[in-house]
Structure 1
Amino acid sequence: MATLSPNPAMQDIKVAYQESTLVFPSQQTPKTSLFLSNIDQFLNINVPTVLFFSANSDFPPEIVARRLKMALEKVLVMYDFMAGRLKWDSQSGRLEIDCNGAGAGFVVASSEFAIDEMGDLVCPNLGFRQLAVQTLNNLALNKIDDQPLCILQVTSFKCGGFAIGMSINHILFDGIAAKSFQQNLASQTFDNKPPPIIPDHNRRLLAARSPPLITFPHTEFFKPDLRLPDLLNKQELDFKILKLTPNNINFLKAKANTARIATTFNVVAALIWRCIALSSSDDKNDRVSTLLNAVDLRSRLDPPLPREYCGNAILFARASANCGDLEKWRFSKAVEMVAEGIDRVTDEYARSAIDWLECERGIPCGEIIVTSWLRLGFDEAEFPWGKAVCFGPVVNNLKSLCWVFSGVDGVNVLVQRPVEEIERFQFHFHNFFERIS
């Protein structure tokens, strides 16, 4: 049976912060402004993640912190914009990154607990937010604009193990570019090892056409002056991890009943959509639920973007349905709609969406936004002290976002919903595996 992991009661893992500082590129970097695409513009949110490592007698946490700090200094030469700051260009009416060398953040901390005292590391333990701080509060930073766009944190545990937390503004890059950054960072923790990937920083590859040419309706976006976006919702949330075993995934694929569309992501996204749509307190017979799935554009454009593209090369594939229909339909219908939305994102569709954003300056419009980390392999980066034993996103307060990522055995999904919806969500999740035809 698929399971929902409960939240641990522990919300304070007794972290003490020993060092909180700015780290600068090891060499002088050019003072320039980095153009941000229309996709980058609406992704101004922090994404905290954490990797856990077992104790290694050759690399105690203090050595790890020293090596990681030096590696960050070196890699910031290649990624100079990560040491910059966001600024608003009043002439163009756009955000850009001022590559001013103001520095990335670096934090060293310790916890009073051992790793095995914190239970299942994949569970959305609120205390893990202490392992990836999002601001440097003890520095004389005058305003929010002074805060670094990237903060790395090394936290040691009493067992000798440690965690590496990363809080990175999504404007810097998407998952694929973040994985490349992580690989390059890991390479610099070795002696005299070259970076494996040379990032392509040309974000004008995703600039709007001149003049813009909008050839599709883009209901996956809306203008933010029309209503408050769900993405920025500040309700009190509860958090759950869906744990889906290989048998659960095979069950979902069998229910989808179509081999071409029954990918792991498609069936998991359809399940999340259905359960969240039915868990709302609104009258489900009259309400429309919209699912947005993050789609990588690199291979969908003509010509394709370089695999090394360092920015946000993602758009959202939309699927909408009446909640009452979602409840009545066979599961295969919901999966088909997920697949159709993803197939819709062609080169021309993507260019049209970028042009729409140029004209309307909209933001994503969906009750649920699902993003997949299944193939990114953030836990595969090789450091001198080995690979991470566990990796996962850290909970935040963005109720629309759901992350799909690999588990020890199967697939995990982080779901973040208002407190009053979680019980209904659990009912529909369990009921699906028991009763749906």
Structure 2
Amino acid sequence: MASSSPSLSFTVRKCQPELVTPAIPTPHETKLLSDIDDQEFLRFTYSIIQIYRNESSMANKDSVRVIRQALAQTLVFYYPFAGRLREGRGRKLMVDCTGEGVTFVEADADITLDQFGDALQPPFVYSSEFLCDVPDPQEELTTCPLLLIQVTRLKCGGFIVATGWHHTMADGAGLSQFMNAWAEMARGARAPSIAPVWRRELLMARDPPRITRNHREYEHIEDTKVGTNSHDNLVRRSFFFGPTEIAAIRRLVPYHLRHCTAFDVITACLWRCRTKALQIEPDEDVRMMCIVNARSRFKPPLPVGYYGNAFAYPAAITTAGKLCGNPFGYAVELINKVKSEVTEEYMHSVADLMVIKGRCMLTTVRSCLVTDLTRARFRDVDFGWGKAVSGAPAIDKAEPFPAATHIVSYKNPKGEDGLVLPVLLPAEAMNRFLKEMDDLLGNTNQPTGAGPGFIKSTI
């Protein structure tokens, strides 16, 4: 199934970046990040793109001005975002709350939303046109602003908000909380409905640190087979799982797993088809790491308003032969089981491991990582112009870990609510992946226009 590159021609005119500071003076202090926050894998800037249509009731309001002013007001409450990172002994990160501000870029594009057509489906293939330039987080760790925002007006009156945030500051749930506070301010609120909570000491390593759980997601594995983590000739495809597709997968799930989530079955589908497509040797171990929000796993739960990173990525592990040779329910059960391993003790053990092993990196060899962003509800963020047409991660051209992906909610052109899963693979492997998906789903996933399930996009 050949895919075509984006062909739209348009221009985005950007103003010079400015620094937006808190609307009033804020405390100048140093705040330590937690030992979950500052692990190696989170030391980068991650971007979300939200796309909004014109709203006639807001005709007399400038989206850029409203959003900029609301940002300054929101930073009064989330003032650490206006500071800069500092690195101490043992690579420990902290925030110097200087009030220097966050990067804000005003832009205009000579295109309408309707001209984008199917390209509005996540991931947005024109992401790079609407993102701020992101500095290298390793080279400019202590000088880079912690938020990088661009708001682009469109000819139709709609607009696009692109928000890059340094992942050490917040996870998806934390960013969603910040964005909803920001949107509340844009709609006239004087304070967020959920007060932000720092409390990073709740996820600091213990004294002395002690590893009490088996964290195979951080094992160091040698890559003995060339190609499974190749960055060459990558092709991106996105799959829409609506009611038809979800029902087709669930028919493959045994009765005792009938209560598994849509995330479980889609992730199992990805894991099996990707492993087959990469032609991994049967005796090689393969990993599927699932992001698990641990806020509710603490006793008592973490405070409402906690916006730091509060998740783990436990690894379901088996051999490629067992994963592909067993019935589909085998993969679903492994994923379902590993998610349940995340407890308060598990999180403390991860924090301790970071201190003991020097904030080590995740295992990327023959690994895949999936994040469920449906609960972050980025589409629901309303700055006054209604909910977003789409709210999802931006495409990163310099993908550091091609096997990391996410699941987001989306309403397709037929009006069906469903879930979108982007997949990035070398071209030859992608062709095999498409065949495996078709075989698994009984040919319900077809190219756009030929069936309900497939969204075409490329990098």
Tell me the SS of whatever aligns to 1:299: helix
**Separation in structure 1 between the aligned mates of residue 115 and residue 352 of structure 2, nearest angstrom:** 51
Q: Which residue of 2 aligns with 1:384?
A: 384
- CA spacing shift, 1:435–1:52, aligned 2, 3 Å: closer
Partner deviation per Cα, 1:317-349 (whole Å, 9 max, x = no partner)? 211121122211111010000011001112222
**Separation in structure 2 between the aligned mates of residue 315 and residue 114 of structure 1, nearest angstrom:** 40
- CA spacing shift, 1:191–1:136, aligned 2, 3 Å: farther
Q: Please say if residues 123 and 240 of structure 1, whose CA atoms lie closer than 8 Å, have aligned partners that are also in contact.
A: no
Q: Which residue of 1 aligns with 2:452?
A: none
Q: 1:417 aligns with which of 422, 425, 429?
A: 425
**Alignment TM-score, normalising by the size of structure 1:** 0.90
Q: Please say if residues 49 and 132 of structure 1, whose CA atoms lie closer than 8 Å, have aligned partners that are also in contact.
A: no
Residue 290 of structure 1 aligns with an amino acid whose one-letter code is R
- CA spacing shift, 1:386–1:253, aligned 2, 3 Å: same
Runs of 4+ in 1 over 4 A off after TM superposition: 4-8, 232-236
Partner deviation per Cα, 1:396-419 (whole Å, 9 max, x = no partner)? 113121110112121111222334
Tell me the SS of whatever aligns to 1:188: helix
Identity %: 29
Matched, 1:99 2:97: yes
Residue 156 of structure 2 aligns with an amino acid whose one-letter code is C
Q: Please say if residues 35 and 203 of structure 1, whose CA atoms lie closer than 8 Å, have aligned partners that are also in contact.
A: yes
Tell me the SS of whatever aligns to 1:364: coil
Q: Please say if residues 64 and 153 of structure 2, whose CA atoms lie closer than 8 Å, have aligned partners that are also in contact.
A: no
Residue 55 of structure 1 aligns with an amino acid whose one-letter code is N
**Separation in structure 2 between the aligned mates of residue 104 and residue 349 of structure 1, nearest angstrom:** 34
Q: Which residue of 2 aligns with 1:40?
A: 37
Q: 1:333 aligns with which of 310, 330, 333?
A: 330
Q: 2:243 aligns with which of 238, 243, 246?
A: 246
Give unmatched runs, 5+ long, in structure 2: 412-416, 445-459
- CA spacing shift, 1:407–1:38, aligned 2, 3 Å: same
- CA spacing shift, 1:60–1:30, aligned 2, 3 Å: same
- CA spacing shift, 1:428–1:395, aligned 2, 3 Å: same
Q: Please say if residues 194 and 304 of structure 2, whose CA atoms lie closer than 8 Å, have aligned partners that are also in contact.
A: no
Q: Which moved more, 1:234-243 or 1:374-383?
A: 234-243
Q: Please say if residues 10 and 126 of structure 1, whose CA atoms lie closer than 8 Å, have aligned partners that are also in contact.
A: no
Q: Which residue of 1 aligns with 2:51?
A: 52
Q: Which residue of 1 aligns with 2:106?
A: 108
Q: Which residue of 2 aligns with 1:304?
A: 301
Residue 197 of structure 1 aligns with an amino acid whose one-letter code is I
Matched, 1:295 2:298: no
Q: Which residue of 1 aligns with 2:438?
A: 430
Partner deviation per Cα, 1:188-237 (whole Å, 9 max, x = no partner)? 1123443111011111110111111212221111469x889x9x985553
- Displacement of 1:143 in angstroms is 5.1
Kindly tell me the number of residue pairs found equivalent between the two proteins. 425
Partner deviation per Cα, 1:129-148 (whole Å, 9 max, x = no partner)? 221224389xxxx9564221
- CA spacing shift, 1:344–1:261, aligned 2, 3 Å: farther
- CA spacing shift, 1:154–1:297, aligned 2, 3 Å: same
Q: Which residue of 1 aligns with 2:341?
A: 344
Tell me the SS of whatever aligns to 2:174: helix
**Separation in structure 2 between the aligned mates of residue 311 and residue 12 of structure 1, nearest angstrom:** 39
Q: Which residue of 1 aligns with 2:275?
A: 277
Q: Which residue of 2 aligns with 1:17?
A: 14
Tell me the SS of whatever aligns to 1:220: helix
Partner deviation per Cα, 1:106-150 (whole Å, 9 max, x = no partner)? 11112222111112211434322221224389xxxx956422111
**Separation in structure 2 between the aligned mates of residue 44 and residue 123 of structure 1, nearest angstrom:** 24
- Displacement of 1:424 in angstroms is 1.9
Spell out the pairing of 1:4-403 with structure 2 (5 A cutoff): 8-10=5-7, 13-42=10-39, 43-59=42-58, 63-89=62-88, 91-120=89-118, 121-135=120-134, 145-222=142-219, 235-257=232-254, 258-259=256-257, 261-282=259-280, 284-360=281-357, 361-366=359-364, 367-396=367-396, 397=399, 398-403=401-406
Residue 278 of structure 2 aligns with an amino acid whose one-letter code is S
Partner deviation per Cα, 1:274-306 (whole Å, 9 max, x = no partner)? 121112154x32322111000011111222211
**Separation in structure 1 between the aligned mates of residue 188 and residue 70 of structure 2, nearest angstrom:** 10
- CA spacing shift, 1:170–1:143, aligned 2, 3 Å: closer
- CA spacing shift, 1:237–1:98, aligned 2, 3 Å: farther
- CA spacing shift, 1:181–1:419, aligned 2, 3 Å: same
Q: Which residue of 1 aligns with 2:448?
A: none
- Displacement of 1:420 in angstroms is 3.8
**Separation in structure 2 between the aligned mates of residue 407 and residue 334 of structure 1, nearest angstrom:** 25
Residue 76 of structure 1 aligns with an amino acid whose one-letter code is L
Residue 385 of structure 2 aligns with an amino acid whose one-letter code is W
**Separation in structure 2 between the aligned mates of residue 169 and residue 60 of structure 1, nearest angstrom:** 33
Q: Please say if residues 293 and 371 of structure 1, whose CA atoms lie closer than 8 Å, have aligned partners that are also in contact.
A: yes
Give unmatched runs, 5+ long, in structure 1: none
**Separation in structure 1 between the aligned mates of residue 76 and residue 191 of structure 2, nearest angstrom:** 13
Q: Please say if residues 52 and 390 of structure 1, whose CA atoms lie closer than 8 Å, have aligned partners that are also in contact.
A: yes
Q: Which moved more, 1:331-340 or 1:92-101?
A: 92-101
Q: Please say if residues 38 and 92 of structure 2, whose CA atoms lie closer than 8 Å, have aligned partners that are also in contact.
A: yes
**Separation in structure 2 between the aligned mates of residue 12 and residue 168 of structure 1, nearest angstrom:** 28
**Separation in structure 2 between the aligned mates of residue 370 and residue 190 of structure 1, nearest angstrom:** 33
- CA spacing shift, 1:428–1:129, aligned 2, 3 Å: same
**Separation in structure 1 between the aligned mates of residue 23 and residue 403 of structure 2, nearest angstrom:** 39
- CA spacing shift, 1:114–1:277, aligned 2, 3 Å: same
- CA spacing shift, 1:261–1:11, aligned 2, 3 Å: farther
- CA spacing shift, 1:406–1:356, aligned 2, 3 Å: same
